[in-house]
Structure 1
Amino acid sequence: MKKKLLAVVIPSLFAASSTALASGFQLMEQSASGIGNAYAGSAAVADDAGTIFYNPAGMTRLKAREVSLGVAAIKPSFKFDDRGSLAAPGAPLTGSNGGDAGGWAAVPNGYYSQKINDRLWLGLGMGVPFGLVTEYDDDWIGRFHSTKFEIKTINVNPSLAFKVNEAVSLGFGVSVQRFEATYDRYAGVAAPGPLKSFGVSDAAMQRTKLRLEADDVSWGWNVGILFTPTERTKLGFSYRSKVKHDLDGDLEARGPAAPVLSNPRVGLAGVDAEVSVDLPDTFIASAAQGVGERWEILADVSWTGWSSLNVLPIYRSSGVQSGSVADTLATRFQDTWRVALGARYRYDEHWLLKFGVAYDESPVRDAERRLTALPDNDRIWVSLGARWMPDADNRVDLGLAYLFIDDTRIDRNAMAEGKGWVRGQYEGDVWLAGVQYSRSF
C-alpha cells in the first residue's frame, strides 16, 4: 500500500470516524456554527472562518485574523427488518436483523483566516467532507453483502479571497484530500465449482470474511463569489470540484476458506487491490437578508453530482488473478438537490438564536439499487441553535438537529454474485449536535 506523507502531518484529531449526514456519504458539518440553521445561507453568511469551506470569498467579511474550531457529534440509527430475504430461489437467508448499523461519531473542523491588505485575505481550512460507517452484527442476514463499510476523508484547504470592491468579492481554494476505505463481508452463500475442487465447502465460504482496505491522496479545487449590494443583503455562490481517487490497498480473507482463497495458485485473496472513485462536485447558491432590527432570513439551494458514482469495480492488482474483478459496488447514484430555510434572531448584544429546516434528497434511485452499506433515503432536517458572544471578539456557537428519514425499503438481488437477495425495510433517524469556538484578533 502506498505510504502517504499526509497521513503523518495531519493532526490525529482529524482521523476520527464519521458517518453520513447529508445525502449519500457527504458531510455538511464542516462548520458547527451552521447546524442551528440547517446550513441555510451557508455560502452567504460569512461571519466566521468556516466560510473558507462553503465560500472562500466570505473571508473579506472577517476581521484581520479569525480562528474557528468546532466538532459535531452524530448519532444515526439504521435498523433492518427482514421481509423475505433469499439465499437462492426458495431458500431463505438465515440470520439476525443485524442490530443498529449506526453509531456515535465525531466530525471535527478548524479554520484560520488572515487579512494581508485591504483587498487580499489568505485562509486555511481542515475538515472531513465525506464519511460513512455502517456496521452490522456478524450473523446478520445481509452479511454476504456487507458487515462493515467505512469511509474516512481528511481535507486540507488553503484558500484566498480578493475584494474587488465594496459589493463584490472572489474566492479560490485548493484541496489536498486523503481517502481511506474499509469494506468487510462474508465470502458467499455457496462455494463456486472451481473452489470446491480445492476442497472448499459451502459452510467454509459462509464463515470466511473478506476485507478490502485501500487509501489514496488526491486534490481538487473550489471557487466562490459573494455579492453584498447592501449591508443587510448577501448573495453567495460557490462550486467545489470533483476529486478523483485511485485507491490502492489489500484484499484479505480470514476464516476456514482463507488458505485456499489466499493460495498463490488461486490468487483470489491475499493480494493487492485497486478501485477508482470520483467523489462528487457540489454547487451552492445562498442568500441572507436582514428583516427589521433583529431578524435575518437565510436560504440555500445546493446540487451534488452523485452520478459520478455509478459502478465501482474492485480489481485485483497482483498475483495470478491480477486484472480480474474481485467485487463490484453498483451504486448507480443520481444527482441530488438540497434546499434549506433558516432564520436568526438577535435577542440582545450577547445572544443570537437560530432556527432552520431543510429537505435533502438521497442519491439512491430505488429499493433495487440500495446497498446494505448505504441504507440511505431522503431526509428532513429540523434544527435550532444559539450563538453566545461574551464580547466583540469571542463567540461560541451551539447547534442541535434531528433528521427524519423515510422508512427505507431494500430489494437488492445479488444472487448471481453469490451474495443472496436482501429484502426488507430500514427504520432510521439521526441526532446531530455541535459546538464551535471562534475568535477574532
Structure 2
Amino acid sequence: MRLQVFRCVLLAGLLAAGSSSALAAGFSIIEQSVSGLGNAYSGGAAAVEDASTIFFNPAGMTLLEGQQVVAGMHVIVPSAKFDSDGAENALGGAIGGGDGSDGGVVKPVPNFFYAANLGNGWSVGLGICAPFGLATEYDKDWVGRYHGVESEVLTININPSLAYRVNDSLSVGAGVSAQYMDVNLTSMIDFGLATLGASDPRSDVYADMNADDWGYGFNLGLLYEFDKNSRVGAAYRSRIKHKLEGDVDFSLQNRAYLATFGLDAVAAANFPDQDLGGDITLPASASLSVYHQFTPEWALMADVTWTEWSTFEELVIEFDGALADSVTTENWEDNWRYSIGATYAANDRLKLRLGLAYDETPIPSARYRTPRIPGNDRFWTAFGVGYQISRNMNLDFGYTHLFIKDAKLDKTLADDENLSRGTLRGEYDSAVDIASLQLTYAF
C-alpha cells in the first residue's frame, strides 16, 4: 500500500515538473533577424531593414523593392550555473548530488524570409522561423534531478504574409501561422524514497517525456510614415494553442542495485510506459516601435514589447493510464521589453549598429522558478555590422551579450507538487552570448 501511494505521488510530481517546464519552455525567441540583433531589436516594427520585417511587422514589406530572400543563423550560447543551498526529500532526508555542471546548452536558431513587392501597393511574403524554444541539461545525478534533467523545446513557425500600402503614409499587413511544437522533458523519479526510505541515485527511475503538435495563429501590423525620415510601427502576434500528445518512457538507472533488494521487477511493474497529453498556450505579444533618420548617416530607433505570459496560471497534464490528472501552478506575469538603438552609415556599403535593451522576466518569484527555466531580468548590449557585397547582396553580422540578474530558486514542500521531488534551494549565475550571420539577396 505504501509503495502504491508513493508511486502515485511520484508520477504526479514527475509530470507536474514536466508541465511547468513546458510552459516555461514557451519562452519567446526574439532572434529572428541579424540586422535587427545589432540594434537589440529596438527598431523591430518600424526599421524595415530587410524581409525579416515579416516576423516583426508584415506591413513593412511595402517599403521593400522587387524581391528579397533572407537567410540567417543565430548561435545562442547560454550559461546557467547553479549554487545549491541544499535539498531534502519529503521524509526530511538529504538529497545528495552535485550542482549539475552548466545547465546551458548551445543551440543554433535558423530563419528564412522571402518578400516580393507586386506593385499596385501589394506585397507578399513568407517567413520560416523558431519563435519559441528552450534547451537546458544537467547531470543525471545532480541535486535537482527530481525537478528536471533535460529540457528541449523546438518550434517551427511557417508564416505567409500579405501587406497593402493604403496611401503615401499608411501601410497595413497581416499573416497566418502554422506552428509545429516538439517537447522533450526528462526527470528522475525518487523510487528509493518509496521503497528504501532514502534518496539514492542508484535507485532512481529515469522518465523521458516526448510530445508534439501543430497549432495555428495570426499576426497583424501597421506602419505609418510621417515623412521619408520618420515612421512608427505597431505589430501584434496572437496566442497559439497546442494540444500536445505523446508518451513517457521509464528506465531503471541501476537494475543490478535494485535487484539486490528484489525491487527491479517491482520498479518496472510500477512504472509502465504510457501515453499522455496536455494543452499549452503560447502567449500573444504586441510591439510599438519608432524610427527616425536624423542625418544621412545617423538613424535612431526605440521599441517597447509586451508579452502575455499571465495566461499561464496553471497547466493540466492528462494520462491515458490510471494516474489522476496533474495540475501545476505557474502564476507567471506579463512582461515588458524596452530597447533603444542607433545605426551609422559609414559609407554607401558599410553600416554599424548599436543597441541596448532591458527584458523583464515573467517569473514572479523564486517559488515559481524551475531548473528548466532559471531566468531572471536581462540587460542586453548589442552591436552589428552590415556590408553590401554587391548591388544585390548584403552580409550582416550581429553579436549581443545578455547580463542576467542572479536568480534565486526556492522549491519547498509547502507546494504539494514538490512532495515527490523534495525541496531545492540555491541561486543561479547566468548569462547568454549570441552571435549571428545573415545573407540577403535582392532581385
TM-score exceeds 0.5: yes
Asked if 1:331 corresponds to 2:330, the answer is yes
User: Residues 411 and 89 of structure 1: is their aligned pair in 2 closer, same or farther, counting only changes over 3 Å?
Assistant: farther
Kindly report which structure 2 residues correspond to 1:416-431, keeping only aligned pairs within 5 A, or say none. 416=416, 417-431=419-433
CA distance in 2, matches of 1:85, 1:366: 18
Distance 1:393 1:236 in 2: 26
5 Å-filtered alignment, 1:222-261, equals 222-255=219-252, 256=255, 260=266
* Kept in 2: contact 1:252–1:270 (CA 8 A): yes
What secondary structure does 1:87 align onto?
coil
Q: Distance in 2 between matches of 1:248 and 1:200?
A: 34
Task: Pick closer, same or farther for the CA change 1:27–1:281 going to 2, 3 Å.
Answer: same
Q: Secondary structure at the match of 1:438?
A: strand
Code of the residue aligned with 1:67 in structure 2: it is V
Aligned amino acid, residue 61 of structure 1: L
Measure, in 1, the Cα distance between the counterparts of 2:84 and 2:170.
Answer: 55
Structure 2 counterpart of 1:298: 301
CA distance in 1, matches of 2:198, 2:92: 21
| Native 8 Å contact 1:189 1:419 kept in 2 | no
Q: Do 2:190 and 2:200's aligned partners in 1 also have CA atoms closer than 8 Å?
A: no
What does 1:135-174 correspond to in 2, within 5 Å? 135-174=137-176
Aligned to 2:59: 57
Q: Could you say which residue in structure 2 is the equivalent of 1:4?
A: none
Seen in structure 2, the aligned counterparts of structure 1 residues 329 and 180 have a Cα distance that, compared at 3 Å, is: farther
Q: Does 1:134 align with 2:136?
A: yes
Q: Could you tell me which amino acid in structure 1 is paired with residue 375 of structure 2? A: D
SS of equivalent residue, structure 1 residue 116: strand
The answer to whether the aligner puts 1:281 opposite 2:278 as a matched pair is no
Counterpart residue number, 2:209: 212
What secondary structure does 1:234 align onto?
strand
Given candidates 89, 113, 122, the residue that maps to 1:120 is: 122
Partner of 1:404: 403
Question: Which one has the bigger helix percentage?
Answer: 2
SS of 1:368's equivalent? helix
AA aligned opposite 2:317: I
4+ residue runs over 6 A deviation = 199-202
- Matches of 1:301 and 1:58 in 2, distance apart? 17
Q: Deviation of residue 288 (structure 1)?
A: 0.6
Q: Which amino acid aligns with 1:212?
A: M
Residue type matched to 1:240 in 2?
Answer: R
Q: Which amino acid aligns with 1:171?
A: G
Scaled by the length of structure 2, the TM-score of the pair is: 0.88
CA contact (8 A) 2:39 2:383 kept: yes
- Which residue identity lines up with residue 83 of structure 2 in the other structure? D
Equivalent residue for 1:380?
A: 379
Q: Is there any run of 5+ residues in structure 1 with no aligned partner, and where? A: 1-19
Amino acid at match of 1:363: P
Separation in structure 2 between the aligned mates of residue 187 and residue 315 of structure 1, nearest angstrom: 18
Deviation, 1:302, is 0.2
Kindly tell me the number of residue pairs found equivalent between the two proteins. 409
2:275 alignment partner in structure 1: 272
Tell whether the 8 Å contact from 1:160 to 1:171 is kept in structure 2 after alignment.
yes
Superposition RMSD in Å: 2.2
- In 2, the alpha carbon distance for the partners of 1:190 and 1:312 equals 28
1: CA distance, partners of 2:197 / 2:277: 26
Counterpart amino acid of residue 235 in structure 1? V
Cα displacement (A) at 1:259: 5.2
Which sections of structure 2, spanning at least 5 residues, go unmatched? 1-21, 256-262
Tell me whether 1:66 sits opposite 2:68 in the alignment: yes
1:22-60 deviations in whole A, cap 9, x for unaligned?
997210111121111000011101120000000000000
